[in-house]
């Protein structure tokens, strides 16, 4: 067998594994950024919904994106059987698995807007419908030879296809679900509902950062010329710049170097460089990351001022940074690297590519939001609401949806502490007041 074919297949297989491991990063990100009473629910439903999206992608998603059809949607290659694709240069099964991972990541981003208040049944039904009616359309338009591809839309690894699409679904969900109990006061001021484990959140960002090398560099789907190294370098530089920029802006404005904001800056830099990582010089990658880090800080404040409760900041990290990253190629794409579309404004390309990028943002973002909003509105009526009851939200989704806590030992210790306080005895010593509680 051809050595290059084998090397391409091995490289993309490794990249697919890295992208799938990002699901683990999202589990830690969402768990650490929310309260411990919902931790087990978040971890379990994330794995379950990735399973659903995988089955749907195998059955119809891949065919809707890459099948033969028209500029809107593909209509062949359903129930993929593992065959190779002529001219692809690598194993068809490996390419399928790589694309499946992207679809799963987009859905995971969308579910960030559902956190801490949606019913488990809502996750399951929306996972199915999003994987059929939302993601495949946009992926086909840009990556499957659809109408935006015909216009030369640049989105190397998915700032629009994966991140903006997921964020717009999250926006529809946050608007329909309404804020969590206690998020906003009657006077409109917001309360900070802190996540329960900042270390989890930091570790998640590191996992996602590493996984992003599979996301972006793996999208070369080839080892030819080792170009994946350049893409990985741009990816790392943007993430680093986003981290520093978000930390500095929070320090300047808030007077403290806010850790969650710094972590969101790293993710925003990664999201922003995802569209442009193969089309821009290294200095531009730094600029793109820096601006993403600043934008995410003000975007989070903007959505909160609009009384939109976004528990893990999916709208800002994946939406705002996704828009900026998509537009950035219209400014910074070089004539040498722009293998799709044209050079950007700063390289003599005029406003043409910037216009195409803006069109892609408007069409893809608008479609993802409108279709998701319609789907969720219908589900809200037919499923008697999207949200758990007030009592269930207060006791937490671990118990109300699954009947067991993600941290059962802590709950047992708290119960023991209450018993010891209510029934003091020589052998029943109260636990420390510093004992963590399920909140």
pLDDT-based confidence at residue 439 (cuts at 50, 70, 90): very low
CA dist list (Å): 353 to 18, 79, 190: 31, 36, 40
Cα 435 to chain center, whole Å?
A: 34
pLDDT > 90? residue 410? no
pLDDT-based confidence at residue 1 (cuts at 50, 70, 90): low
Q: How far apart are CA 374 and CA 377, in angstroms?
A: 5
- The DSSP 8-state label assigned to residue 254 in this structure reads H
Given a contact cutoff of 8 angstroms between Cβ atoms, the answer to whether 388 and 117 are in contact is yes
pLDDT > 50? residue 438? no
pLDDT for 270 equals 98
If you write DSSP's letter for every residue of 17-45 in order, what string do you get? Answer: HHHHHHHHHHHHHHHHTS-GGGHHHHHHH
pLDDT-based confidence at residue 303 (cuts at 50, 70, 90): very high
- What is the number of other CB atoms lying within 10 angstroms of the CB of residue 5? 14
Given a contact cutoff of 8 angstroms between Cβ atoms, the answer to whether 218 and 97 are in contact is no
pLDDT-based confidence at residue 68 (cuts at 50, 70, 90): very high
Report residue 69: phi and psi, to 5°: -170, -130
pLDDT-based confidence at residue 87 (cuts at 50, 70, 90): confident
Among 174, 138, 176, 135, smallest CA distance to 362 is for 138
Residue 345, judged by CB atoms within 10 A of its CB (0-12, 13-18, 19+), counts as middle
- Altogether, the residues listed in the chain come to a count of 439
pLDDT > 90? residue 86? no
pLDDT for 51 equals 97
pLDDT for 413 equals 65
Residue range 212-249, pLDDT digits in tens: 999 999 999 999 999 999 999 999 999 999 999 999 99
Given a contact cutoff of 8 angstroms between Cβ atoms, the answer to whether 109 and 162 are in contact is yes
Q: What is the pTM of this model?
A: 0.92
Residue range 7-34, pLDDT digits in tens: 999 999 999 999 999 999 999 999 999 9
- Over residues 276-296, the mean pLDDT reads 98
Given a contact cutoff of 8 angstroms between Cβ atoms, the answer to whether 321 and 238 are in contact is no
Residue 116, judged by CB atoms within 10 A of its CB (0-12, 13-18, 19+), counts as buried
pLDDT-based confidence at residue 409 (cuts at 50, 70, 90): confident
- Over residues 268-293, the mean pLDDT reads 98
pLDDT for 437 equals 45
Token pair recorded at residue 371: 């279709």
pLDDT > 80? residue 329? yes
- The DSSP 8-state label assigned to residue 429 in this structure reads P
Q: How far apart are CA 291 and CA 294, in angstroms?
A: 5
Q: How far apart are CA 140 and CA 7, in angstroms?
A: 27
- What is the number of other CB atoms lying within 10 angstroms of the CB of residue 63? 23
pLDDT > 70? residue 288? yes
Bridge partners, 190 (sequence order): 184
Q: What is Dmax (Cα atoms) for the chain?
A: 82
């Amino acid at each position: 067998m051809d050595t290059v074919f084998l090397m391409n297949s091995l490289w993309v297989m490794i990249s697919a594994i890295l992208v799938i491991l990002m699901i683990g990063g999202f589990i830690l990100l969402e768990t650490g950024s929310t309260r411990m009473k919902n931790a087990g629910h978040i971890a379990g439903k994330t794995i379950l919904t990735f399973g659903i999206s995988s089955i749907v992608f195998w059955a119809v998603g891949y065919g809707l994106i890459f099948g033969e059809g028209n500029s809107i949607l593909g209509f062949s290659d359903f129930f993929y059987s593992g065959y190779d694709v002529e001219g692809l240069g690598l194993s068809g099964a490996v390419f399928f698995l790589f694309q499946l991972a992207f679809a799963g990541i987009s859905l995971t981003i969308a579910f960030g807007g559902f956190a801490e208040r949606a019913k488990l049944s809502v996750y399951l039904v929306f996972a199915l419908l999003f994987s059929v009616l939302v993601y495949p359309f946009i992926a086909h338009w840009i990556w499957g030879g659809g109408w935006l591809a015909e216009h030369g839309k640049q989105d190397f690894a998915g700032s629009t296809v994966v991140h903006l699409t997921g964020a717009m679904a999250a926006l529809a969900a946050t608007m329909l679900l309404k804020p969590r109990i206690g998020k906003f006061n009657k006077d409109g001021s917001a309360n900070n509902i802190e996540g329960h484990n900042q270390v989890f959140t930091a570790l998640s960002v590191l996992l996602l950062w590493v996984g992003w090398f599979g996301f972006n560099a793996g999208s070369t789907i080839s080892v030819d010329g080792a170009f994946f190294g350049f893409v990985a370098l741009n990816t790392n530089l943007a993430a680093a710049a986003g981290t520093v920029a978000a930390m500095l802006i929070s320090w300047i404005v808030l007077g403290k170097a806010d850790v969650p904001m710094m972590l969101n800056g790293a993710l925003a830099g990664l999201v922003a460089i995802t569209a442009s990582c193969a089309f821009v010089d290294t200095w531009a990658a730094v600029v793109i990351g820096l601006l993403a880090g600043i934008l995410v800080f003000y975007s989070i404040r903007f959505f909160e001022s609009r009384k939109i409760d976004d528990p893990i900041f999916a709208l800002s990290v994946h939406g705002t940074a996704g828009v900026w990253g998509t537009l950035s190629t219209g400014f910074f794409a070089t004539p040498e690297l722009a293998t799709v579309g044209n050079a950007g404004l700063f390289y003599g390309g005029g406003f043409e590519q910037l216009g195409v990028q803006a069109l892609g943002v408007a069409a893809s973002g608008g479609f993802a939001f409108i279709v998701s909003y319609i789907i969720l509105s219908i589900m809200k009526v037919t499923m008697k609401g999207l949200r758990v009851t007030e009592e269930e939200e207060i006791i937490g989704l671990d118990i109300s949806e699954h009947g067991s806590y993600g941290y059962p030992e802590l709950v047992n210790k708290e119960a023991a502490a209450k018993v010891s306080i209510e029934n003091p005895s020589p052998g029943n010593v109260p636990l420390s007041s510093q004992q963590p509680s399920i909140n």
